[in-house]
């Protein structure tokens, strides 16, 4: 199964930003482990979690698929 484009976008943006998972977590109000799980594809993010992480990383138009569940 190919990597999820949203997870790939978050991982690439994280690498470019130089931010740690902990710094991202602090910006978005999630645990560091939750951010790691979302960025690595181990856990699906809600739409609001994904958007918060994307915004923290400066992503304005992340790939749109149904891979991340809405709650």
Task: Tell me the whole-structure pTM to 2 decimals.
Answer: 0.77
Residue 66 lies in a domain: no
Residue 62 lies in a domain: no
pLDDT number for residue 51: 93
Residue 70 lies in a domain: no
Number of domains in the chain: 1
The pLDDT-based confidence of 6 (bands split at 50, 70, 90) is: confident
pLDDT number for residue 59: 86
Q: Using one digit for the tens of pLDDT, what is the confidence trace for 16-64?
A: 999 999 999 999 999 999 999 999 889 989 999 999 999 999 987 655 5
pLDDT number for residue 57: 93
Residue with tokens 């992480």: 53
Q: Residue 15 gets which letter from DSSP?
A: H
Residue 14 lies in a domain: yes
Domain range for residue 51?
5-56
How is 17-70 classified by DSSP, letter by letter?
A: HT--HHHHHHHHTS-HHHHHHHHHTSSPPPHHHHHHHHHHTT-SS----S-SPP
CATH assignment of the domain containing 45: 1.10.260
Cβ 45 vs Cβ 68: under 8 Å: yes
């Amino acid at each position: 199964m190919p990597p999820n484009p949203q997870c790939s976008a978050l991982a690439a943006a994280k690498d470019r930003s130089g931010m740690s998972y902990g710094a991202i977590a602090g910006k978005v109000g999630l645990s560091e482990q939750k951010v790691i799980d979302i960025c690595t594809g181990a856990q699906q993010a809600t739409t609001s979690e994904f958007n918060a992480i994307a915004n923290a990383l400066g992503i304005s138009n992340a790939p749109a698929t149904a891979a991340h569940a809405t709650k």
